[in-house]
Amino acid sequence: MEEVKGMHTGTGANPRMEAGSKDWRMVPIGISMWAGMLLAHGCFGSWTTGEPAFTAPQAWLILVCLGLLVLLVLVLSRCEERGLPGRCWSFCSSLVRGLRPSLLLMLLTILLGALASLSTDLMQSRDPAMVHASQGGASIQARLRLTSPVTASSMRQALCQADGSLESITREGRQVTSHSPVRLLLTDQRACSTLLAGSHIQLSGQLRLAPVGRLPLWLTGQDGHIEVLAQAPWIKRVVHASWRSFFQVTDRLSDQGRVLVPGLTVGLLGQDYLGQPATADSEGSKDAGKPIKGLTESAGLWERQPVNQTYASMLTTHFRQAGIMHLMAVSGGHFALLASLIRRLCARLLLPRQLVALAVTASYCALALMVYPSDSVLRALVMGLIGACGMWRGRPSQLVSSLAWTSMGVLLVNPAMSRSYGFALSVAAVLGIGTMARPIARGLSAHLPKVLAEMMAMTLSAQAFTLPIQVLMQPQLPLLSLPANMLVAPFVDFSTLTGLAALLLATWNQTLAYALAWLSSAGTLVMERTAQSLGSQTSFLIPWAGGAGGALLMLLLEIAIMASFHIVHLLWQQGRRRAGEAAGLGQPHRLTMMARLRFWWSDTRRIFGHWSRPGPGRQTQEEGKEP
């Protein structure tokens, strides 16, 4: 009966309750799990360090909110048991039936997230590497697997850096197993140029607690004490060869192309890629130039001219101040473009949906392997695979629901992702686009062209949901972010597609790959000019309160702005209705509840006529009525 009711749009049924494509039920559940993990991690840090995780007002605010949540559940349960007369009973009953299961489930997911985070933090704190680093650290011998490509280091004391996962550490002749994630810092130029992601290496170095960042440990390697135990898998070597050919092509572009085309294509800025020759020596290192044990000759690189660091640093600053730095990270846009091309090609070939789903899945996995691994790539990959499974089953994609399930799945597998700014920004942007882009576009389309309205709506919705997180990272507001994103939006897809095509063809035909990379740099040139024009205007950067207080203040301000626009819209509609009544145009026709029920029952009987077949006379009378 519910399905039949949803088929008739004129019955007055709420479309948000019936439309399966707008299933937002898991959003508060996912937010509750995320909040439980953050709360548990803060409490665990307070317990281990002895410092309070929250100030007294923050602790009281959290306790009051949780107490009100539990009290609301108990009150609603009590109302249902005793019952209340009249409309109050109907209202209370609807609240009990609608809110109590959701609130109870939110409480359960808060506990689940807290338990997952506490167990992960407890295991990590008891890891031998963490214990050794917390005791002051000393020179150790470590075995680890590199989980990310080696890039230029953001720290002055190191030449390059890479993320890895420890397998064991040896101290004073005693080897113990470890599974802690670590950031590797190297000063050996040869090692920086030749080590590949996926390699198993052994080195000597100093282990210490990480002062900043999400990874808990830093390992500073000693020059000349690196041994490759196992080469990277063949797929990683293929990706490395493709990257090497791609950067050889982009190095023939102008400075802005060398920096921005790789960033837009694979998520790694041109100045962060290391391509020095394999025979280069590190300055001031007596062990520089020594061969790395276990390293094959295929790891040799070409002599690469370094990017102008002053220009690259200034360009990055302008991009960040203009609010378009997110373009230099691979996100769902790359996956959406690739999936769109695959679906169009398969539609031309009239392939069944199962083969289309397989093709989309394969393209998603290939793209995730070819780009720089990041938290936003992980979110887009998992979410895309969920959509491909729905395509296989013939189910339409649900953006918000799949986002919620993706977030909860990733957080349960790796609770440390709850503290990742990259993952939070990616989820918040997609959530804003999925919930607010269409309503904003409908409102703007009355005053702007449809294409411009949709473009502005997507930018506004994404920025509205990510601003509180951006304030946590950098307490300032770029006022020119909206016009900057509007100016570069028409060129992003073109530059991304041509950049990906250049990456694909760089290994086979560098002449054609260079032509495609040059076309991509033509689009990034617009981005560079926009960033220099708008990002250099520091007077349009508003300082804002930092920390959790600044994020909460931004959230309350956005809620107030949205509520104000909604109230103004309602008043405008009411004014139009009253103006129409005063002009003698009458009132808009609105069906009563009884009329909606009559139409619903009529449609139900027409569809399921075998339930109750009316007589001939009554059927003729009903057919003569106006619908």
Contact 521, 253 (CB under 8 A): yes
Query: With b meaning 16 or more CB within 10 Å and e meaning fewer, what string describes 133-168?
Result: beeebeebbbbbbbebbbbbbeeeebbbbbbbebbb
| Per-chain mean pLDDT for the chain | 79
Handedness of CA 479, 212, 143, 292 (dihedral sign): positive
Greater model confidence, 165 or 102: 165
Stretch 311-327: mean pLDDT, rounded?
90
Q: Which of 16-25, 31-40, 557-566, 570-579 has the highest mean pLDDT?
A: 31-40
Q: For residue 333, what pLDDT is reported?
A: 87
Q: Residue 222, CB half-sphere, CA atoms under 13 Å: how many?
A: 14
Stretch 407-430: mean pLDDT, rounded?
91
Task: For the chain, give percent helix, strand, coil, nearest 5.
Answer: 65, 10, 25
Task: Show the 3-state SS of 340-381.
Answer: HHHHHHHHHCCCCHHHHHHHHHHHHHHHHHHCCCCHHHHHHH
Q: For residue 307, what pLDDT is reported?
A: 85
Contact 403, 426 (CB under 8 A): no
Q: For residue 156, what pLDDT is reported?
A: 79
Contact 206, 183 (CB under 8 A): no
Closest by alpha carbon to 8, among 621, 603, 624?
603
Handedness of CA 593, 598, 604, 610 (dihedral sign): positive
Give long-range contacts, CB 8 A cutoff, 24+ apart: 254-259.
Answer: 254/521, 255/307, 255/308, 255/311, 255/312, 256/315, 256/521, 256/524, 256/525, 256/528, 257/517, 257/518, 257/520, 257/521, 257/524, 257/525, 258/307, 259/307, 259/311, 259/312, 259/315
Residue 402 confidence (pLDDT) above 60: yes
For the chain, report the end-to-end CA distance as a whole number of angstroms: 21
Q: Residue 191, CB half-sphere, CA atoms under 13 Å: how many?
A: 32
Tell me the pLDDT tens digit for each residue of 496-524: 999 999 999 999 999 999 999 999 999 99
Tell me the pLDDT band of 440, cut-offs 50, 70 and 90: confident
Tell me the pLDDT tens digit for each residue of 155-208: 878 888 999 999 998 887 788 898 899 999 988 888 887 888 999 999 888 888
Contact 149, 246 (CB under 8 A): no
Q: CB count, 10 Å around CB of 118?
A: 18
pTM: 0.80
Closest by alpha carbon to 131, among 171, 186, 183?
171
617 by Cβ neighbours in 10 Å (0-12 / 13-18 / 19+) ranks as exposed
Residue 614 confidence (pLDDT) above 70: no
Q: For residue 612, what pLDDT is reported?
A: 46
Residue 81 confidence (pLDDT) above 60: no
Contact 315, 224 (CB under 8 A): no
Cα gap 283→562, rounded to integer Å = 57
Cα gap 303→290, rounded to integer Å = 18
Cα gap 462→326, rounded to integer Å = 11
Stretch 231-260: mean pLDDT, rounded?
92
Tell me the pLDDT tens digit for each residue of 448-491: 778 888 888 888 888 888 988 888 888 888 888 888 988 898 89
Stretch 127-131: mean pLDDT, rounded?
88
Structure tokens, 43: 């409490």
Residue 85 confidence (pLDDT) above 50: no
Residue 123 confidence (pLDDT) above 70: yes
- Contacts (Cβ under 8 Å, ≥6 apart) of 473: 421
Residue type, 466: T
Tell me the pLDDT tens digit for each residue of 562-594: 888 878 877 877 777 776 666 655 555 666 666
Residue 261 confidence (pLDDT) above 90: yes
Cα gap 502→576, rounded to integer Å = 55
How does strand 174-177 pair with strand 139-146? unpaired
Q: For residue 131, what pLDDT is reported?
A: 86
Cross-strand bridge partners of residue 201: 144, 228
Q: For residue 504, what pLDDT is reported?
A: 93
